[in-house]
Structure formats: structure tokens, C-alpha cells
Amino acid sequence: MNKQNVLRVYLEFLDNKIKTTQESLESIQQIINDAPKPSESHSDTTRFQQSQLASDTLNRLASLKKARMLADSILPEPSNCLSAGALVLIQDRESGERDYYFVVPSQGGGESLLVDGLEIMTVFFRAPILAPIHEIKVGDTFKFRGKELILLEIS
């Protein structure tokens, strides 16, 4: 798996999320502008609910922009250490199933990216699946949620 491709897809994913969240915020702001005036019925409820939604959306947008800024600092070259930007390959010892995880530099993760036909799961550095990996090396096995897994690669 090419880490540069994973990073490119992740950056595109963030750019798209920022764009759609910005569009949502603009739409919500238009709804607030069009909401009933204080002299009309239901004005307080409508404006309050939409203002709360706008505030939540604005916070989400700020979080996405921060994630994008931090993602710009990820080096595309393999690093062989478990840090932001690491691409981790884990194999289930029993089934042989392999899973890729891309460590993102800000809280969140849990998003699935499709890169070169493979699913890559984004995870934050403190994700439970990564906890045992901090204390082992490539080729070692570890247990997670009742399964025996093998750390195949960190790049």
C-alpha cells in the first residue's frame, strides 16, 4: 500500500468534508435569516433551534479545518513509527484477514477511505486498536477484542 496515496485520499476527504460543512453552514444561516421575525409566531423556537445548529456546524467546521492543517504536516515517506500519518497493517491470525489503519493527527477518525481498491480505516493515535501496538514490534502478535492479531507493518 502506497502511503502517499493514502495521504492524498485523506486530504481530499478532509477538503470535501470542509466544503460540504461550509455549504451546510451557509444554508443554515440562510434559514435563520428567513425564519419568522420576533413579531411572528414560533419565531423564538425556530431561530433558537437554527442558531444552535449553526453553532454546532461552526464548531465542526473549525474542527475539520484544524484536522486539515495538522494533516498538512504529515510526511508522505514511511516512518516505521506509530505516529500521526502512520499506515498500520494488521492481520487476524485465525482468518488471515488484513486491515489497514491510517493514524490521523487529530481526535476523531473512524472514517473509511477507499484507496487503490482497499478500505483504510482512519484512527486517532489513542484508538483502542493501537494501544497494544505501542509496546510491540512488527511481526509480534497481540490480542484485541478476543482475537489474536499480528502486526505486519508500520509505514
For residue 147, the domain's CATH number is 3.10.50.30
What per-residue confidence (pLDDT) applies to 125?
85
Name the phi and psi angles at 60, rounded to 5: -65, -40
What predicted TM-score, i.e. pTM, was given to this entire model?
A: 0.85
Print burial letters for 11-49: b (CB count within 10 Å at least 16), e (below 16): eebbeebbeebeeebeebeeebeebeeeeeeeeeebbee
Please list, in sequence order, all residues whose beta carbon lies within 8 angstroms of the beta carbon of residue 144, skipping any fewer than 6 positions away. 128, 129, 132
60 and 96 both lie in a single domain: no
Rounded-to-integer distance, Cα 76 and Cα 155, Å: 10
What per-residue confidence (pLDDT) applies to 88?
96
User: Within a domain: residue 22?
Assistant: yes
User: Within a domain: residue 77?
Assistant: no
What per-residue confidence (pLDDT) applies to 106?
80
95 and 149 both lie in a single domain: yes
What per-residue confidence (pLDDT) applies to 38?
65
Range of the structural domain that residue 121 is part of: 87-154
Q: Which three cell numbers stand for residue 9?
A: 485520499
Q: Which three cell numbers stand for residue 1?
A: 500500500
93 and 149 both lie in a single domain: yes
Angle at alpha carbon of residue 58, lines to 54 and 60, rounded to 5°: 120
In the chain, how many domains are there? Answer: 2
Domain boundary among 43, 71, 99: 71
Helix or strand or coil: residue 73?
A: coil
What per-residue confidence (pLDDT) applies to 143?
95
Q: What is the full per-residue pLDDT of the chain (155 aa) written as tens digits?
A: 889 999 999 999 999 999 999 999 999 999 888 876 666 555 566 777 888 999 999 999 999 999 999 999 998 887 788 888 999 999 999 999 999 999 998 877 889 999 999 999 999 988 999 999 988 999 999 999 999 999 999 99
91 and 142 both lie in a single domain: yes
Helix or strand or coil: residue 70?
A: helix
92 and 62 both lie in a single domain: no
